[in-house]
Amino acid sequence: MTRLKYRYLQAVRDLGNMFWGIVYPIILASFFFLAFGHLGTESWTEIPVAYVAGQGETVFDSFLEQMDGELLAVRKMSAEEARQALADDAVEGILYAPTEGGTPSLSVGKSGLRETVLSMVLDAYVKNSAMMEDIARSHPDKLPEAMQTLGSSVSHIREVTLDGKNYDTILEYFFSCFAMMCFFGCFMGCKLGAENAANVTPLAARRSISPEQKSLAVLQDLLVGISIQFVNALVFLAFLRFVLGISMNGNFLGMALISLLGSMTGVSLGIVVGSNAKLTEGMKNLILVALPLFLCFLAGLMIGNMKYTIEEHIPLLNRVNPAALISDALFFLNVCNDSHALAIRLLLLLGFACAMTIWAFCSLRRTRYESI
C-alpha cells in the first residue's frame, strides 16, 4: 500500500501529464463553448418548405394549411422556383402535391434533423390520407377537426428528440473532445510504461532488480494510471455539465462506465508505446499526439459531420475507431436513448479497452533482459 500511495503522488505531481490529461481538454472545451455557444441548437418551429401545388384543391392542401404557422412555414411556388429556393437554402425541402391517384412527395437537398422532421410529417399524412379523404367525402364539416388532430400528432417533433431530450448539434464537438481527453491519458501511461522497462530508463533498471514481484508492480502502475485518468474524466464531465451548462443528463453509471473504458484504452496505449525501447523519445511523443488526434478527427473533433460522412460511406471504420465509439456512446446515452446501439458501442469499447490493457500488462510483465 505504501508503494501504491507514492506512485499516486508521483503521477499526480507530474504537471506535464496532468496538463494534457485534464487541463488542456478543459481549455479546449472552453474555447469550443466560447466559439460556438448554442449556435447548433436545432429549431423545429416553422420549418421553411416550398409547396408545388397541383390542379385544384386537395386534402393535402388543407393539411398544409393546418401545419402552416405551427410546425411548417409553407410557401407556394412553381417547380422551378422551388428548386432554386432549395439550392439557395431558402427552404429545407419541397413538397409536391399528389398526382391523380398518387401520394404527395418530398424532395430535400441534404440530410439533417429538419429534413427528417419533414419526412415524418409527410409519412404521417400518407398513413392517414385514406381516412382524411373518406372524411372529406362523407363529413366535410369534420375535416378541419380531423386535420387538427392529425397535426397535433406530429407537432411534438418541434420540441424534443425521440426520447424527449433537447438536441444541440454542437454536442458532437464536446463528445469528441471527451474522447480526446480519455486518450490523452496516454501521456501518463507512457511515463509509467517507461518506468517499468529496464532497457528504457535507469529508474526502471533499478526497479527491475528489486525484490518486488514484477507482475504486482505492473498491476499497481496500471491501477494508478487508469484510476487517475478516470477521475480526470469525471471531473471533465462535471465541468461540461455544471460550468459550461452542456446537456449531460445521461445515466451516471453509464457515463462512469464510458469514462472508465476510455481511460483504460488511453492509459494502456501510452504504456505500450512508452515501454517500447525501439522508439526514440521524439517518436513516442509523435505517436501519442498524432494517433489520438487522428482518431478524434475521424470522430468529429475538427469537422462535426465527419463521423456521419464515414458512417454513410465506411461504417466499419466507426466500429473500429475507439474515439468514435466513445462519442457514439455518449450520444446514445445523453441524446438518443437507444439502448441497443449503446450496448453495441459499449461492448466494442470494452473489447478495445481489455485488449489494450492486456497488451500493456504483457508488454511489461514478460520482459526479460540478458544485461542492463
Domain map (residue ranges) of the chain: 2-39+165-365, 47-158
Digit-coded pLDDT (tens) for 59-92: 778 778 877 777 788 899 998 999 999 999 899 8
Per mean pLDDT, which range of 206-220, 261-275, 329-343 is the poorest?
A: 206-220
Q: Does the pLDDT of residue 150 top 70, yes or no?
A: no
Residue 286 is predicted with a pLDDT of 93
Across residues 265-286, what is the average pLDDT? 89
Nearest-10 crossing angle of helices 186-194, 2-13 = 130
CA-nearest of 83, 124, 131 to 104 is 124
Q: Which residues pair with 163 in a beta bridge?
A: none
Per mean pLDDT, which range of 66-80, 81-95, 128-142, 247-261 is the poorest?
A: 128-142
Contacts of 207 (CB under 8 A, 6+ apart): 195, 196, 198, 217
Distance in angstroms between the alpha carbons of the first and the last residue of the chain: 28
Q: Does the pLDDT of residue 159 top 50, yes or no?
A: no
Residue 160 is predicted with a pLDDT of 46
Contacts of 70 (CB under 8 A, 6+ apart): 46, 151, 155
Per mean pLDDT, which range of 108-117, 223-232, 295-304, 363-372 is the poorest?
A: 363-372
Q: What CATH number does the domain located at 47-158 have?
A: 3.40.190
Residue 6 is predicted with a pLDDT of 80
Q: Does the pLDDT of residue 283 top 90, yes or no?
A: yes
pLDDT tier for residue 260 given thresholds of 50, 70 and 90: very high
| Max Cα distance, the chain (Å) | 97
For 33, the grid coordinates are 463553448
Is the CB of residue 214 less than 8 Å from the CB of residue 363?
no
**C-alpha count within 13 angstroms, C-beta hemisphere, residue 149:** 9
What is the residue-averaged pLDDT of the chain? 81
Q: Which residue has the higher pLDDT, 177 or 211?
A: 177
pLDDT tier for residue 156 given thresholds of 50, 70 and 90: very low
Is the CB of residue 262 less than 8 Å from the CB of residue 179?
yes
Report yes or no on whether pTM surpasses 0.85: no
